[in-house]
């Protein structure tokens, strides 16, 4: 105890202090890194590496509410990369999407048209209604893969009929469940939207994957949009952060809303540094990630498993019922392997930290389960599995390579 602290204050300090590092923390972290390499649950589980933190720890130390230097540099880079006037670093993809919507929308009533599977509709806690007072109009794509102009035209509200909330934003998520919306279709939708005074927002949490897979530059992918939200903390493997890009006017407003929403952060240099590291070192690894996802998909097909959504980027959706195996069995048996795998339902996500061994082990497990079912008398049903009378396999298209 330092001599200038009296007993009362020393006791308070004793109560306050907290050693957050558990016994064997380094060992536990190593274990977690091994688990992440064998998890197909989500790319949000990717962990920062020592190299990423070493780089990030050398960034500037300013307070971002007063414009932090490294963060400003990242924002400038993101604006330039996406071909927009300005960018704003955000704590999360949800906040980035919600602030984009809030910044575009001025005076209710209004509506936002999006795919019925969109994150802004299903997984942001009803944020568009709460923050912006907006009605969301969810649309089911006729081709069961991506929205087309025709799908949207049927749902968009224009005109002066006071029974309806006029559409002010069309939102596109790309990738959506790992699938890519064709850029020609994005442009058709955008031309239509802009000719009706409707804004275009993209949830580009995983737009990186589209650029990596198609070879189309991010500026071109983002050109049809008035705003785009891009995440660093998913496929790119940074711990925290997203970026909203758009016009200077929009980003000025968004900065205001970010403060209002409680998202004005302080020493963000370390976060901007992690994002910069992810852009430089992890983005190029997405090519390999996609190849590994395709290997996983092909391996499943070879075992007689149905692919319900192919690996256009980093996700594969599958159904092993044609070989008599259900999801709960897979999850349970995967968790019981000597070196367990984490699997959750129909979606398999491959990411920058997925090991090739995990893919091999998963395929071996499915093979074993299939053989067990066969030995127990399971006979594969004739024909292709159907949902509502339609083949389960959704529309498959070839991805255009640059
Ligand atoms: C497509 C998409 N958009 C937005 C988000 C929200 O990101 P966050 O979890 O950082 O709020 C996610 C999260 O996984 C997502 O998958």
CATH number at residue 155: 3.40.640.10
Question: What's the 91 CA to ligand 1 centre distance in angstroms?
Answer: 11
| Residues 54, 164 share a domain | yes
In a domain, 15, yes or no: no
Quick one: which atom of ligand 1 is closest to the CA of 203?
Answer: 3
User: Which pLDDT band, with edges at 50, 70 and 90, does 148 fall under?
Assistant: very high
Domain end marker among 242, 263, 281: 281
| Residues 273, 298 share a domain | no
In a domain, 189, yes or no: yes
Which pLDDT belongs to residue 385?
A: 52
Mean of pLDDT values over 54-66: 96
Distant-in-sequence, close-in-space partners of 69: CB < 8 Å, separation ≥ 6: 60, 62, 269
In a domain, 41, yes or no: no
Domain end marker among 281, 304, 321: 281
User: Which pLDDT band, with edges at 50, 70 and 90, does 397 fall under?
Assistant: very low
User: Which pLDDT band, with edges at 50, 70 and 90, does 173 fall under?
Assistant: very high
In a domain, 73, yes or no: yes
| Residues 177, 64 share a domain | yes
**What is the C-alpha to C-alpha distance for residues 97 and 254, in angstroms, rounded to an integer?**
10
Mean of pLDDT values over 149-174: 97
Task: Report the residue among 231, 271, 275 best suited for mutation to probe ligand 1: largest number of ligand atoms under 8 A from its CB.
Answer: 231
DSSP secondary structure code for residue 175 in this structure: S
Domain end marker among 252, 281, 310: 281
| Residues 302, 241 share a domain | no
| Packing angle of the helix pair 286-302, 207-214 (nearest 10 deg) | 80
User: Is the pLDDT assigned to residue 398 strictly greater than 50?
Assistant: no
39: which strand partners?
342
User: Which pLDDT band, with edges at 50, 70 and 90, does 339 fall under?
Assistant: very high
| Residues 360, 267 share a domain | no
User: Is the pLDDT assigned to residue 383 strictly greater than 70?
Assistant: no
| Residues 221, 136 share a domain | yes
Which pLDDT belongs to residue 394?
A: 42
pLDDT tens per residue, range 14-24: 999 999 999 99
User: Which pLDDT band, with edges at 50, 70 and 90, does 222 fall under?
Assistant: very high
Which pLDDT belongs to residue 384?
A: 55
Task: Report the residue among 180, 201, 234 best suited for mutation to probe ligand 1: largest number of ligand atoms under 8 A from its CB.
Answer: 234
Mean of pLDDT values over 95-102: 98
Task: Report the residue among 205, 229, 265 best suited for mutation to probe ligand 1: largest number of ligand atoms under 8 A from its CB.
Answer: 205
Q: What angle do CA 231, 221, 139 make, to 5 degrees?
A: 80
In a domain, 388, yes or no: no
| Residues 97, 226 share a domain | yes
- Residue 64 Cβ contacting ligand 1 at under 6 Å: no
DSSP states along 343-356: -BTTEEE--TT--H
User: Which pLDDT band, with edges at 50, 70 and 90, does 2 fall under?
Assistant: low
**What is the C-alpha to C-alpha distance for residues 209 and 85, in angstroms, rounded to an integer?**
23
In a domain, 245, yes or no: yes
Question: What's the 205 CA to ligand 1 centre distance in angstroms?
Answer: 6
| Residues 295, 242 share a domain | no
| Residues 296, 272 share a domain | no
Domain boundaries, position 360: 286-381
- Residue 94 Cβ contacting ligand 1 at under 6 Å: yes
Which pLDDT belongs to residue 381?
A: 80
- Residue 205 Cβ contacting ligand 1 at under 6 Å: yes
Percent of the chain with pLDDT over 90: 93
Q: How many domains does the chain have?
A: 2
Q: Are 170 and 193 in contact (CB under 8 A)?
A: yes
User: Is the pLDDT assigned to residue 45 strictly greater than 80?
Assistant: yes
**What is the C-alpha to C-alpha distance for residues 235 and 207, in angstroms, rounded to an integer?**
10
The CATH number for 358's domain is 3.90.1150.10
| Residues 333, 200 share a domain | no
User: Which pLDDT band, with edges at 50, 70 and 90, does 391 fall under?
Assistant: very low
Question: What's the 93 CA to ligand 1 centre distance in angstroms?
Answer: 5
Ligand 1 atom 4, closest CA: 93
Mean of pLDDT values over 264-282: 98
User: Is the pLDDT assigned to residue 255 strictly greater than 50?
Assistant: yes
| Residues 296, 150 share a domain | no
Quick one: which atom of ligand 1 is closest to the CA of 234?
Answer: 14
pLDDT tens per residue, range 175-207: 999 999 999 999 999 999 999 999 999 999 999
| Residues 187, 90 share a domain | yes
- Residue 119 Cβ contacting ligand 1 at under 6 Å: yes
């Amino acid at each position: 105890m330092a001599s200038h602290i009296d007993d009362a204050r020393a006791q308070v300090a004793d109560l306050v202090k907290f050693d957050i590092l558990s016994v064997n923390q380094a060992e536990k972290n190593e274990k977690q890194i091994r688990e992440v390499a064998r998890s197909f649950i989500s790319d949000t589980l990717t962990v920062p590496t020592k190299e990423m933190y070493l780089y990030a720890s050398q960034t500037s130390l300013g307070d971002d509410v007063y414009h932090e230097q490294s963060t400003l540099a990242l924002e400038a880079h993101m604006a330039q990369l996406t071909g927009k006037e300005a960018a704003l670093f955000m704590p999360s993809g949800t906040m980035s999407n919600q602030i984009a919507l809030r910044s575009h929308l001025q005076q209710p009533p209004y509506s936002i048209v999006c795919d019925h599977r969109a994150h802004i509709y299903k997984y942001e806690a009803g944020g568009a209604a709460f923050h912006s007072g907006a009605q969301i109009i969810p649309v089911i794509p006729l081709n069961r893969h991506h929205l087309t102009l025709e799908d949207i035209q049927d749902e968009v509200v224009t005109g002066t009929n006071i029974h309806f909330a006029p559409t002010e934003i069309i939102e596109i998520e790309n990738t959506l469940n790992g699938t890519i919306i064709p850029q020609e279709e994005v442009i058709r939708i955008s031309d239509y939207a802009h000719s009706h005074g409707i804004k275009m927002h993209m949830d580009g949490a995983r737009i990186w994957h589209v650029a990596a897979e198609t070879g189309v530059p991010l500026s071109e992918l983002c050109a049809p949009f008035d705003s785009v939200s891009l995440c660093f903390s998913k496929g790119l493997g940074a711990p925290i952060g997203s970026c909203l890009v758009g016009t200077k006017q929009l980003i000025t407003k968004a900065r205001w809303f970010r403060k209002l929403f409680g998202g004005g952060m302080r020493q963000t240099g370390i976060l901007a540094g992690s994002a910069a590291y992810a852009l430089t070192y992890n983005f190029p690894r997405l090519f390999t990630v996609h190849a590994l996802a395709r290997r996983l998909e092909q391996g499943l097909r070879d075992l007689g498993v149905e692919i319900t959504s192919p690996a256009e980027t980093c996700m594969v959706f599958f159904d092993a019922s044609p070989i008599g195996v259900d999801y709960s069995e897979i999850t349970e048996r995967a968790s019981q392997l000597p070196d367990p795998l984490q699997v959750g339902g129909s979606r398999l996500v491959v990411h920058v930290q997925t090991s090739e061994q995990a893919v091999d082990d998963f395929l071996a497990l499915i093979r074993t389960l299939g053989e067990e079912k066969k030995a127990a008398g399971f006979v594969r049903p004739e024909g292709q599995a159907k949902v509502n009378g339609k083949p389960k396999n959704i529309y498959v298209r070839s991805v255009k390579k640059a």
